[in-house]
Structure 1
Amino acid sequence: MELTTHLINDTMNLYKWALTIADKRVEKWPLMDNPLPTLAISSSYLLFLWLGPKYMQNREPFQLQKTLIVYNFSMVIFNFFICKELFLAARAAGYSYICQSVDYSDDPNEVRVSSPRNDPGPGFK
């Protein structure tokens, strides 16, 4: 019992320490202020992995080829956009591509590096 209590205390101390070094600019972003939504999403995913094959056991497989083509193409476009924005923002901020210290200021170039868009938009403020 003492080992369990010690493990829980160490975990809580690690969590509190991680909160002290977190980037204050992103603490209001979705899934950033609390680990519970992320744990709920991960648990739901694991539940889906367990129940999905049972649900589909006696059913025809879904025809998702066209859906997956559209999804994969959109992911390529989205990731290209993220890479382009990151490169342009890092260049505008004068980043060194070998080693760069973290700047926690609200400088627009620094915020742009932390977000794939210039203005994080609704839900990100």
Structure 2
Amino acid sequence: MCQSNFILLFSFLDPRTTDWFLVGKLGHLVVILTTYVYFCTSAGPKYMKDRKPYDLKRTIQIYNLIQIFVSVYLVNEGMQGGWSNDYSFSCQPVVPGEKGLRMAKAVWLYFICKLVELLDTVFFVLRKKFNQVSYLHVYHHTLMPVCAWIGVTFLPGGHGTLLGVVNSFIHVIMYTYYYLSSLGPEVQKYLWWKRHLTALQMIQFCIIFYHNFQVLFKRCDYPKFLNFLLAVEAAYFLYLFGCFYYNQYMKNQKKNQESKDKKSLNGAVQNGVRQNGVLSNGSTSNGTIPKQEVETIPNEKMKIQ
């Protein structure tokens, strides 16, 4: 069945897009992505080892603005090209001919954007922000161009394009945050919604998972093995982003709260000690703290002067 579905995919090779830039050229895509991974994980860090970080503030600001405008355009094209008109959420085949050409062009532009977004990681490396070049980041940026290439080469339209519309909408918010953050501390103090970006991305993967999983049990003129792959990848991304969200926000928040509680406890103990070394709520005859009171203060050693 898997083999027949794989053959079915190649029957969807779309003649409308075959002559477009980088479409159908798997070798070109492999070279680009291999170079990207090698630079970000090996060559780039080695190159920057003995160099100062590059000042790319202005470049990144312009880059973020371009990403915002292009993402807004992609959302509009995706909606006007089908999803706000006659596209079906439960099952949507590829619309052939001129009628579906607007969506096909949007899919191609989305593919090009996924390649351009590889610069996100390149900027991290050149600025020596190596802690941000994580497995999640590199895997996500490597896989998305592959998914977009499959779409524009074989299926430039139809069911899978909802992924691009939702993802572009998330990118409008995400790159807006990045742009505002690049304006400096006077703006950054108002950006309280960073953690919610990750939450929105997780909601995105839930939508994509359900959208592709539910069609597996229906008769639909769309390759089911592609729906299966998109559902699996959405579930895996949900897991990865969920782990990131927990470690970055929930776990750190718990640690910060424990640290605050410990500081509050230490402050309460210090405030309870007078200059003569006797607790304010009562002293002992020999000037020492009673045993039962010491036991209520874990990991603290107090010495009476």
TM-score (norm 1): 0.67
- Runs of 4+ deviating beyond 6 Å: none
Superimposed CA distance per residue, residues 2-44 of structure 1 (whole angstroms, 9 cap, x where no aligned partner): xxxxxxxxxxx89x83433322222222222231000111111
The corresponding residue for 1:39 is 30
Q: Over residues 26-79 of structure 1, what are the superposed CA-to-partner deviations in whole Å (9 max), with x where a residue is unaligned?
A: 222222223100011111112212111111111110011221121111101101
Q: 1:92 to 1:111 in 2, by over 3 A?
A: farther
1:61-109, Cα deviation, whole Å (9 max, x unpaired): 0011221121111101101011112211226863334432222x212x3
Larger RCO: Structure 1 or Structure 2 (Cα < 8 Å, ≥ 6 residues apart)? 1
Which moves more between the two structures, 26-35 or 75-84? 26-35
- Aligned twin of 2:101: 111
Determine helix, strand or coil for the equivalent of 1:33. coil
Shift of the 71–56 alpha-carbon distance from structure 1 to 2, 3 Å rule, reads: same
Q: Number of residue pairs matched?
A: 102
Listed as ranges, the matches of 1:1-125 within 5 Å are 17=7, 18-49=9-40, 50-90=42-82, 94-103=86-95, 105-107=96-98, 109-116=99-106
- Aligned identity (percent) is 25
8 A contact 1:93–1:110 mirrored in 2? no
User: Superposition RMSD on alpha carbons, in Å?
Assistant: 2.6
Structure of higher CA gyration radius: 2
Structure 1 or 2: larger helix share? 2
Query: How far apart in 2 are the matches of 1:31 and 1:73?
Result: 25
Partners of 1:47 and 1:90 in 2: CA distance:
38
- Cα distance in 1 between the residues matched to 2:84 and 2:34: 40
Structure 1 gaps, min length 5: 1-12, 118-125
